[in-house]
A = this chain, B = another copy of it.
Amino acid sequence: MMNTPKTKNISNGSHNIWLIEDNAHFRRTMQWLVNRAPGMKCTHSFESCEDALIKLKEEELPEVILLDINLPGMNGIQGIEKIKLISPETYIVILTVYDDNDKVFDALCAGASGYLLKDSAPEKIIDSIEEALAGGAPMSIQIAHKVLEIFSQLKPKKSDYGLTTREKELLQLMTIGLSRQQIADKLFISFHTVTTHLKNIYSKLHVNSKSGAISKVYKENIL
């Protein structure tokens, strides 16, 4: 009879930390760093997610995994998902040199609890592990800034472009893939009227094709 897997402290009461990092030198440095922090023990380190996943299936689960993104084989983002499937309670903290918005976004969406850059000060890394253990979201300051950027991009824009009600209606029908004739039939107006409206819409949106208009609608949350 199997119990639901649970993370737990290792025998001596220390927090159980794992490390997934392909650079051997950095891996050893990090392992040393974690082990010299009071109350933490880096019980395992791996050079790939694949290796870590094998161990996850046979071992006591770690409380925190420090995870690189650029790894041979499975990358860190994919790794998060796999790890979370086996051990949903493990806090995963990304430790990488990559700081582009997409990576940050993907990692956090996939279930990472934190995101640190490798140039972080050693004590900052240890603090961050503790913050993760406390249920927080430790981030390098640059990453925190990117998170704010991501949020501000999520803000629904009210860019209107001065479209009239009717024009928005046409645009709406366009987005579901209708042709001009189909739109005309649906709205009981002439094909030529639809053409005129579309001309005006394109001019207001500064596009010159149906596809451009539809893209703009979705990208800028028009309608």
Please tell me the number of chain A residues within 8 Å of chain B, measured between CB atoms. Answer: 39
Does A1 have its Cβ within 8 Å of any Cβ on chain B? no
Q: Which residue of B lies closest to A145 (CB)?
A: B135
Q: A207, B110: Cβ atoms under 8 Å? A: no
Does A222 have its Cβ within 8 Å of any Cβ on chain B? no
Does A33 have its Cβ within 8 Å of any Cβ on chain B? no
Q: Which residue of B lies closest to A174 (CB)?
A: B211
Nearest Cβ in chain B — how far from A207, in angstroms?
6
Nearest Cβ in chain B — how far from A115, in angstroms?
11
A207 partner residues in chain B, CB cutoff 8 A: 177
A108 partner residues in chain B, CB cutoff 8 A: 148, 151-152
- A137/B139 contact (C-beta < 8 A), A210-B210, A215-B175 known: yes
1/0 contact string of A172-214 vs chain B (CB within 8 Å): 0011111100000000000000000000000000011111111
1/0 contact string of A150-178 vs chain B (CB within 8 Å): 01101110000000000000000011111
Within 8 A of B (CB), among A98-156: 105, 108-111, 113, 131, 134-137, 139, 141-142, 144-145, 147-148, 151-152, 154-156
- A211/B141 contact (C-beta < 8 A), A109-B155, A147-B147 known: no
Nearest Cβ in chain B — how far from A135, in angstroms?
5
Q: Which residue of B lies closest to A209 (CB)?
A: B177
Q: B211, A152: Cβ atoms under 8 Å? A: no
- A144/B152 contact (C-beta < 8 A), A179-B209, A209-B177, A215-B176 known: no
Q: Which residue of B lies closest to A212 (CB)?
A: B177
Q: Which residue of B lies closest to A219 (CB)?
A: B218
* Cβ 8 A contact of A214, one of B111, B113, B179, B211: B211
Nearest Cβ in chain B — how far from A146, in angstroms?
9
Q: Kindly list the 6 A-B residue pairs having the minimum CB-CB distance in the complex, ordered from nearest.
A: A177-B212, A137-B144, A218-B218, A108-B151, A136-B141, A109-B155
